[in-house]
Amino acid sequence: MKISDAMVAAINDQIKAEFDSAYIYLAMSAYFEDAGLEGMAHWMKKQYKEEVEHAEKFIDYLYERGARVIIPEIAKPKEAYADALEVFKTAYSHEQYVTSRIYKLVDLASSEKDYATLSMLQWFVNEQMEEEDNTGSIVSKLEFLGSDKHGVYTVDRELAAR
Ligand SMILES: [Fe+2]
Ligand SMILES: [Fe+2]
């Protein structure tokens, strides 16, 4: 079964969203490097690389289906944040947004009875669950610590191990 034009366009859109995510996390990594929080910088750099891998997964999928890939323009990410908590809150809500995008892709694939795309998307459904869990639990820790700088430093050490 040939993949539909609408599905190809929606996946190309998602390729852009994954590269935008990568850039957002790379900018967060740069923010943390500048703030002297090297563990968080390292964590965000890994996150950046994961997002590039997500984009590549979608790219390779379109190649496999014989569809045209459009390499997107990447949006300039936000550079300034108040503190580590604001960064991770932004990352958490960004992941929730990406999950809603993935669900829309699932809706489209379902309505088209495109079972191959549905099967590919299942990996992303699971991945988003993990991404929300990871960023959400860091937000909870940082919220608990509040202005405890020593505590934030401990979380920084912990995130260096990713
Ligand atoms: Fe992603
Ligand atoms: Fe993500």
pLDDT tens-place string over residues 24-48: 999 999 999 999 999 999 999 999 9
83: pLDDT confidence band, cut at 50, 70 and 90?
very high
Ligand 1 centre to CA of 148 (Å) is 31
Ligand 2 centre to CA of 91 (Å) is 8
HEC per residue, 72-132: CCCCCCCCCCCCHHHHHHHHHHHHHHHHHHHHHHHHHHHHCCCHHHHHHHHHHHHHHHHHH
pTM of the model: 0.96
- Number of domains the chain contains: 1
The pLDDT of residue 52: 98
Instruction: Report which bound ligand comes closest to the CA of 131.
Output: 2
Q: What is the pLDDT of the chain when averaged over all its residues?
A: 97
Q: How many contiguous H segments (helices) and E segments (strands) does the chain have?
A: 5, 0
Ligand 1 centre to CA of 11 (Å) is 13
CATH number at residue 38: 1.20.1260.10
Ligand 1 centre to CA of 131 (Å) is 8
Ligand 1 centre to CA of 15 (Å) is 9
The pLDDT of residue 114: 98
pLDDT tens-place string over residues 109-123: 999 999 999 999 999
Structural domain including 116 reads 5-159
